[in-house]
Structure 1
Amino acid sequence: MRAVTKWAIALSSVASFSVFANPSFPHIATTGYGEVVAKPDMAEFSVKVVETTLTAEQAKQTVDKVVEDFLASLKSNGVEADNFTSSNLYLTPQYHYPKKGKPELVGYRATRSVTVVVEDLSQLNQYLDLALADGINQVNNIRLKVKDQASYQEQARMAAIKDANQKAKSLAEGFEQELGPVWRVNYNMQNNQPVLMRSMAMDAKSEASSYQDSTIVIRDRVDVIYKLDN
């Protein structure tokens, strides 16, 4: 085998090189990517009630009643208390700004939010219907998730490791070098975002089946430096 001077074969993004201090021996640096496609089986959604009235007390009472009714409906439909939370009241004065003169106080806007974890995705529409019936007037978002996130993440991680190894072997063979042992591994678990459905007003019907046909792509990545034997 030919002698190898101090050089490196690198297959990675520019960002990957900033991760490693460049070693002084012959090496190959690769970045492995892995992903797993999963079907969501649970969800988390956040809804909000917004009311504007002439007085602060009236706005507060209206919003509090809607939230209390919705929480009661969730409980009566079997949702555990650990699976929903409600925010504190947020109250802001509303002003009219005439072209001339001082701003005029015209009322108060009160808002409260409720976040619900749905253990069974098939019940998501049911809970959204409850929110609508109880006076909730905004859906902030719907996040689709998988219960066994750790298992899917492990599959994506192993796929990333396999990808890094395959790239390193291919490069070594292509340049007629002998791949040595792994010298360094840099791993930071990918921050996978759940599928986020669009925000909507409660008076507009959403596509009932849109989230049921969705998939979640869980990704992972690993940066590896291999020694080259010469």
Structure 2
Amino acid sequence: MRLAPLALLVAVLAVPVAAAAAPELRVTGTGTATAAPDMATIRLGVSHEARTAVEAMDRVSADLADVLSELRAAGLEGRDIQTSGLSLSPVWTDYSSGSDRKITGYSASNGVTVRVRALDGLGPLLDTVIGEGANTLDSLSFGLQDPGPVQDEARRAAVAEAMRKARLFAEALGQGLGPLVSLTEEGAEAPMPMKMAARALGESMPMAEGELEIGATVTMVFELSGAD
């Protein structure tokens, strides 16, 4: 069956015409926020060498037991104390001896990771556990018990920076800034030490906890609405 010319025209006009997609503007903004730390994480341990493996392990176990006892006596909770890094290895003669290498003894070590939530006691605590047998200090870092509010402050700063750049670019292009199409956040940055504070945490072992900086990065996509 053949359509009449008028019917064919009506059918063509009934087909919707796709509207051209609005141009888009993509911008990235970064922001930071700072805060004084309220927690420290330390990794310390005990290491000994002895003629036999049993003797080396016994010495490490005895000293580490004293260290753990002092940590608990200082008021640290069990959730903030974790032992890790137990190791035992032979001690060999060096190559310069001019003969075949031999085992001269054994080296044993064990470590403990501790979260200290009262920074005023950090220096004295380190003094105490070192006096009780801890002879290795692998790391000390400062952090926040609840980084969420500071992270949110950094996010707000990142969004504000992205908005500023979007308005600037749109104006430079002679366009109006349309509605927001999408917003994505890149991986949040871990707290980083910033500047050192003058206050010391302990008298015999002075510490400066400094200030932490947390960063955030967001990418925002806007429609451009044409010339204002």
**TM-score, length-normalised on structure 1?**
0.80
Deviation at 1:184, TM superposition (A): 2.3
The one-letter code matched in structure 2 to 1:221 is T
Number of residues of Structure 1 aligned to a counterpart in Structure 2: 197
Write the distance in 1 (CA, Å) between the matches of 2:187 and 2:205. Answer: 33
Which residue, 25, 41, 44 being the options, matches 1:44? 41
1:39-70 C-alpha deviation (Å, 9 max, x unpaired)? 11111111021111111011001111111001
The answer as to whether partners of 2:123 and 2:204 remain within 8 angstroms in 1 is no
Match for residue 54 of structure 2? 57
Write the distance in 1 (CA, Å) between the matches of 2:217 and 2:85. Answer: 39
Match for residue 153 of structure 1? 151
Write the distance in 1 (CA, Å) between the matches of 2:67 and 2:125. Answer: 9
1:169-192 C-alpha deviation (Å, 9 max, x unpaired)? 111112211111122222123231
Which residue, 24, 32, 37 being the options, matches 1:35? 32
Write the distance in 2 (CA, Å) between the matches of 1:221 and 1:206. Answer: 41
Correspondence 1:60-71 to 2 at 5 A: 60-71=57-68
Gaps of 5+ in 1: 1-23, 197-204
Write the distance in 1 (CA, Å) between the matches of 2:50 and 2:90. Answer: 10
Report SS of the residue matched to 1:127. Answer: helix
Report SS of the residue matched to 1:102. Answer: coil
- Flag the 1:55–1:105 CA change in 2: closer, same or farther, 3 A: same
Write the distance in 2 (CA, Å) between the matches of 1:45 and 1:30. Answer: 40
The answer as to whether partners of 1:60 and 1:89 remain within 8 angstroms in 2 is no
Report whether the alignment pairs 1:221 with 2:217: yes
Report SS of the residue matched to 1:140. Answer: strand
The one-letter code matched in structure 2 to 1:222 is V
Match for residue 16 of structure 2? none
1:12-41 C-alpha deviation (Å, 9 max, x unpaired)? xxxxxxxxxxxx752221111110011111
Match for residue 184 of structure 2? 186
- Flag the 1:159–1:25 CA change in 2: closer, same or farther, 3 A: same
Gaps of 5+ in 2: 1-20, 195-202
- Flag the 1:75–1:207 CA change in 2: closer, same or farther, 3 A: closer
The answer as to whether partners of 1:46 and 1:142 remain within 8 angstroms in 2 is yes
The answer as to whether partners of 2:127 and 2:204 remain within 8 angstroms in 1 is no
Write the distance in 2 (CA, Å) between the matches of 1:206 and 1:30. Answer: 51
Question: Highest CA radius of gyration, 1 or 2?
Answer: 2
1:165-223 C-alpha deviation (Å, 9 max, x unpaired)? 11101111122111111222221232314549xxxxxxxx9961322xx0000100101
Write the distance in 2 (CA, Å) between the matches of 1:86 and 1:194. Answer: 25
The one-letter code matched in structure 1 to 2:218 is V
Write the distance in 1 (CA, Å) between the matches of 2:85 and 2:174. Answer: 66
Deviation at 1:88, TM superposition (A): 5.4
Indicate the percent of aligned positions where both proteins have the same amino acid: 28
The one-letter code matched in structure 2 to 1:35 is T
Write the distance in 2 (CA, Å) between the matches of 1:174 and 1:79. Answer: 58
Report whether the alignment pairs 1:73 with 2:70: yes
Correspondence 1:159-170 to 2 at 5 A: 159-170=157-168
Write the distance in 1 (CA, Å) between the matches of 2:179 and 2:219. Answer: 14
Match for residue 141 of structure 1? 139
Where does structure 1 differ by over 6 angstroms across 4 or more consecutive aligned residues?
none
Match for residue 81 of structure 2? 84
Match for residue 10 of structure 2? none
- Flag the 1:70–1:26 CA change in 2: closer, same or farther, 3 A: same
The answer as to whether partners of 1:143 and 1:194 remain within 8 angstroms in 2 is no
